[in-house]
Amino acid sequence: MAGQRVAAVTELVENQATRVVVDGVPIAVVKDSAGTIHAIGDTCTHGEISLSEGFVEDETLECWAHGSQFSLVTGKPLNLPAYEPVPVFPVEIIDGDVYIDSSVTKENQ
Instruction: Give residue-wise pLDDT tens across range 23-38.
Output: 999 999 999 999 999 9
Q: Looking at the predicted structure, is the pLDDT value of residue 109 above 50? A: no
Torsion of CA 23, 45, 7, 96, to 10 degrees: -110
Q: What is the pLDDT of residue 107?
A: 67
pLDDT confidence of 85, banded at 50, 70, 90? very high
Backbone angles phi, psi at 37, to 5 degrees: -105, 130
Alpha carbon distance 2, 59 (integer Å): 25
* Surface-to-core class of residue 64, CB atoms within 10 Å of its CB (0-12 exposed, 13-18 middle, 19+ buried): middle
* pTM (2 d.p.): 0.94
Q: What is the pLDDT of residue 37?
A: 97
Task: Please state the rounded mean pLDDT for residues 93-106.
Answer: 93
